[in-house]
Amino acid sequence: MQQSSRIKKWAVIILLTLGVSSTEVLAQQDKMYSQYMFNMMALNPAYAGSRDVLSATGLYRNQWVNVEGAPKTMTFTLDAPINKERVGLGVQVYNDQIGLQNETGIYASYAFRIRIGERSTLALGLQAGATSFRWNLSEAMLSPGGGNDPVFNTNISKILPNFGTGVYISNDKAYLGISVPQLISNNLSEYNTGDNRAKQKRHAYLMSGFVINLGSTLKLKPSLLAKYAEGAPIGLDGNLNLWINDRIAIGTSYRHNQWSTLNNSSGSGGSINDYVSDAVVGMAEIQLTDQIRIGYAYDMMLNGLKQSNLSINSGSHEVMLRYEFGFGKSKILTPRYF
């Protein structure tokens, strides 16, 4: 029974992620970050070089703690300006694991940066790279005795090349960006029933934020991230961070993501009803030194996911570490909030 329950959990997570076989699910497929405002190289290639120094950021996310097969994501980004800050170069490496599905990707970014004011910069970005996609479907049987669904008979291993683009406008007090990190809709599986073939869905992001001075020691930093995946409703993340002495920040976010109904079109019955996945996020950030910054976020889910007697409803942890090289060499004149 324990093995059967484990497999069912994996199967539900896999189906929710990609929507294959006799089902259709419309949901965000890309990686999720609560601290998106500190990890924007992972969302927008035009961000490369915007911090004016060589900047390295690592992030680890453990989603739905204690749920076996739940998403675990690691990212590492490195970026820097060159050519008198007219160009930004960056690289992103990530690993995203969901149940029996595993993705490892590496992408290089290039941003052409144009001064449009005394403190403002317009950046036009491109990225290119590839993802190693592995999916051990043969282990995802829905019962201890296995099954006859051909989707689960063969494992999948693919190298998926892709490229993306973005635009990013920023100064020391505000930013606005839009991006589509992956433009190619690669096939994840060659198996299909009618129109339901597993594919990489294009995702678009709109991001913005600004800083409000509340006094000599306090600053409020609101930010917003809108996310759109092909065929799915728009998701929204709204965040407020309060900075104290430019060293400590405490904040909260509200996330609203909506999925459409997962229907079984084979006539055998069964469905996962429409639901809205909302989360409240608490986060803290500390600038330990001029070069080292750490952050932590905890997601508290407000709505669970249920299929028959299977329930998923648990919190998520996310930690971030950033190190910036070259501080103190007249490259950073003001604190960098983005």
pLDDT in tens, 309-338: 445 556 899 999 999 987 555 555 456 778
For residues 251 and 240, the answer to whether their CB atoms sit within 8 Å is yes
**Most confidently modeled of 147-161, 232-246, 250-264, 322-336?**
232-246
Cα 157 from chain centre = 22
Please give the Cα distance from 136 to 134 (Å, whole number): 7
Each residue of 27-37: pLDDT tens digit? 456 788 999 98
Measured distance CA(324)–CA(52) in Å, rounded: 10
Residues 335 and 244: their CA atoms lie apart, in Å, by: 12
Q: Read off the tokens for 282.
A: 């608490």
The C-alpha angle with vertex 105 and arms to 104 and 107, in degrees rounded to 5, equals 165
User: What single letter denotes the amino acid at residue 200?
Assistant: Q
Q: Give the CATH architecture of domain 2-324.
A: Beta Barrel (2.40)
Ranges of each domain in the chain: 2-324
Whether this model's pTM surpasses 0.85: no
Question: How many Å apart are CA 223 and CA 236, to the nearest integer?
Answer: 11
Contact 234, 218 (CB under 8 A): no
